[in-house]
Amino acid sequence: MLMNFFNYSRKEFEYICNEAMLNEEYTKLLEMEIKDYSRIKMAEELNVSIDTLDKMIAKLKKKIKKIL
């Protein structure tokens, strides 16, 4: 993971959610990343495995890179 990759303001968060057309699950994931939740806590909140969470994070990063 890149350090501080998910260091966004509220305005940037809203822009990313709108431009990347994130669904509710990915919006929640981005918000948890910004708030620096642990991977275990994020997986529990989203009700997914750690492996699935890692794939979701990679997909989220790819979406963000496309719009920035």
Provide the pLDDT for residue 68: 81
The three-point CA angle 44-49-51 to 5° equals 135
**CA quadruple 46, 11, 58, 7: dihedral sign:** negative
pLDDT of residue 1: 40
* Per-residue pLDDT at 4: 61
Q: Using CA atoms, how far apart are residues 42 and 44, in angstroms rounded to an integer?
A: 5
Give tens-digit pLDDT for 15-58. 999 999 999 999 999 999 999 899 999 999 999 999 999 999 99
pTM, entire model: 0.85
**Residue % of the chain over a pLDDT of 90:** 72
